[in-house]
């Protein structure tokens, strides 16, 4: 009788171990991984009404924070974001929490204003201020085949601060740092820094377009709906 009970206990232990191993293995099909990447990119854009169907364009490069707290290397496009998501999923399996764009990051609105997003609350405010309702009326299914962005600014970029001073930057990191320092040193200004015209932007198909005014930038953004 004792031998029978011991055998049943070991069978139960082996069964639990097999169950735990199976839970930690990602047996997702390629289609399921595609759907995962599609939804994460959609949710990233939805969170702040970003990209082709929103009001704002990301200023690359950015990084992505994964569910385990790790952070990607700098990513220069939505395609690189998708590649990073696939790699992480392949190495880590399923997760209940979705990856997100690492704060802080910068976006450009259709008026040419450069906006630094440093908190979740600021991100929510961006979404609420956007007039476009694509992300309210559509879901992530099919998002992989949609265009992800209208354009992205090409460095070097010249920034005009509200006090009239100008500074040219060769990369986003230096520009963002200058923005934070200027805000810290000039708390009385309510207006945002803007990018100087003319400026070059890279379209989704890779072509470079020179934008000469705020009106041209707005028209370019409107044409991407």
CA distances from 71 to 22, 30, 57, 95, 175 (A): 27, 24, 21, 15, 21
Q: What angle separates helix 30-48 from helix 120-129, to the nearest 10 degrees?
A: 80
pLDDT, tens digit (0-9, with 9 covering 90-100), for 210-223: 999 999 999 999 89
User: Taking Cα atoms as reference points, which of 197, 190, 122 lies closest to residue 162?
Assistant: 190
The confidence band for 199, taking pLDDT boundaries of 50, 70 and 90, is very high
pLDDT, tens digit (0-9, with 9 covering 90-100), for 14-68: 344 333 333 445 567 888 999 999 999 999 999 999 999 999 999 999 999 999 9
Helix (H, G, I), strand (E, B) or coil at 38: helix
pLDDT, tens digit (0-9, with 9 covering 90-100), for 128-143: 999 899 999 999 998 9
Tokens of 116: 């630094």
Q: What is the pLDDT of residue 131?
A: 87
Helix (H, G, I), strand (E, B) or coil at 83: helix
Non-local (6+) Cβ contacts of 206 within 8 A are: none
Average pLDDT over residues 196-204: 95
Q: What is the pLDDT of residue 107?
A: 95
Query: 167 with 196: CB under 8 angstroms?
Result: no
The confidence band for 122, taking pLDDT boundaries of 50, 70 and 90, is very high
Distance CA 185, CA 180 (A): 9
Q: Which residues pair with 159 in a beta bridge?
A: 167, 195
Q: Which residues pair with 50 in a beta bridge?
A: 56
The confidence band for 8, taking pLDDT boundaries of 50, 70 and 90, is very low
């Amino acid at each position: 009788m004792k031998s029978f009970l011991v055998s049943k206990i070991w069978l139960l232990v082996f069964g639990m171990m097999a169950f735990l191993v199976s839970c930690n293995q990602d047996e997702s099909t390629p289609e399921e991984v595609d759907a995962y990447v599609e939804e994460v990119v959609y949710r990233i854009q939805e969170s702040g009404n970003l990209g082709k169907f929103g009001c704002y364009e990301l200023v690359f490069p950015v990084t992505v924070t994964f569910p385990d707290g790790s952070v990607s290397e700098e990513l220069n496009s939505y395609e690189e974001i998708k590649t990073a998501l696939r790699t992480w999923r392949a190495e880590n399996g399923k997760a209940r929490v979705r990856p997100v764009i690492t704060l802080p990051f910068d976006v450009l609105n259709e008026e040419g204003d450069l906006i630094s997003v440093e908190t979740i609350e600021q991100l929510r405010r961006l979404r609420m201020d956007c007039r476009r309702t694509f992300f309210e009326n559509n879901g992530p299914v099919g998002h992989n085949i949609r265009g992800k962005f209208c354009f992205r600014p090409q460095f070097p970029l010249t920034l005009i601060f509200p006090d009239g001073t100008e500074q040219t930057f060769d990369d986003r990191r230096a520009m963002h740092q200058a923005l934070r320092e200027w805000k810290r040193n000039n708390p009385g200004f309510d207006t945002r820094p803007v990018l100087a015209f003319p400026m070059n932007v890279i379209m989704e198909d890779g072509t470079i377009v020179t934008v000469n005014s705020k009106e041209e930038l707005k028209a370019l953004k409107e044409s991407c709906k």
